Structure 1
């Protein structure tokens, strides 16, 4: 692992000044499980959810995955790692060369230069639901949003607690995603069809969302 990490750090250090001047962060990740062109397509498609991604390159023989991303969005390596996992693959090692020349490694190692920190925040919202099936559905809908790092829903209090990178998503976007799978939230009401498609045990007593009351 250390050998792979060292190679990646050397490669990242070799990125040109011209690339940095473009205002783009340069990412390189070693991905395990890429066995065919279709695998590479699936990984690239998942990362297209990151709006603004450019210069995507995937080598299925070596597992090398590289791309550029706007520095102003401060995409974190944790978010990249989670996105690789959501695509169904395992990130072995990786790093990023920030537009200011800072180099960071996937698991927290970095050079002495100050780095841009992500803007991780926590939020809470009310989400309607009844049971453990509801909990799994609600938490999955939240976690599927790019930038969400953790989500936990309490079926007794109906409160969803979310930890996310506010440069990539918002509590409103999370609520909208949950409403799409059939659960009313504090500010967004699920469509009738989505609610009616829920299993019988999950069809909670509906509430009026604040958004509908405005």
Structure 2
């Protein structure tokens, strides 16, 4: 409790975990990810467990996302999509932004780099 009070008094708060900068990259945002079951979303500013939990929760709220696993070392989230889904790149980018981060790209797992 003392640490939380200190952080709030210092003006850091939970927003101190988020440092969004840069611009969004990747393919056409509205492009459907149909036919792909695993994608990796990279987010700038993802550095603490609380931030990871927030982003993980936002992604899991998307209809068609079955699982999301955050890797704090790389700032990436492996997202498992339902077999018959209509998730788009825009859906994932919006969830990243809503969680307070800057989307840096979406890579289809197993696709050529």
TM-score by length of 2: 0.59
What does residue 148 of structure 1 align with? Answer: none
Shift of 1:91: 0.8
Shift of 1:55: 3.6
Q: Matches of residues 122-141 of structure 1 in structure 2 within 5 Å?
A: none
- Per-residue displacement from partner, 1:149-178 (whole Å, max 9, x unpaired)? xxxxxxxxxxxxxxxxxxxxxxxxxxxxxx
Q: Of Structure 1 and Structure 2, which has the larger fraction of its residues in helix?
A: 1
Does the 8 Å CA contact 1:77/1:95 hold for their aligned counterparts?
no
Structure-2 separation of matches of 1:58 and 1:82? 17
Mapping of residues 50-199 of structure 1, within 5 Å: 50-97=62-109, 103=111
Q: Which runs of 5+ in 1 are unaligned?
A: 6-22, 106-214
Larger CA Rg, structure 1 vs 2: 1
Displaced runs of 4 or more, over 3 A: none
Q: Which runs of 5+ in 2 are unaligned?
A: 1-25, 27-34
Report if the CA contact (8 A) 1:95-1:104 is conserved. no
Question: Could you tell me the TM-score, scaled by structure 1's length?
Answer: 0.33
Provide the aligned length of Structure 1 versus Structure 2.
80
Closer, same or farther: CA 76–51 of 1 in aligned 2, 3 Å: closer
- The one of the two structures with greater contact order (alpha-carbon pairs below 8 A, sep at least 6) is 2
Task: Calculate the aligned-residue CA RMSD, in Å.
Answer: 2.6
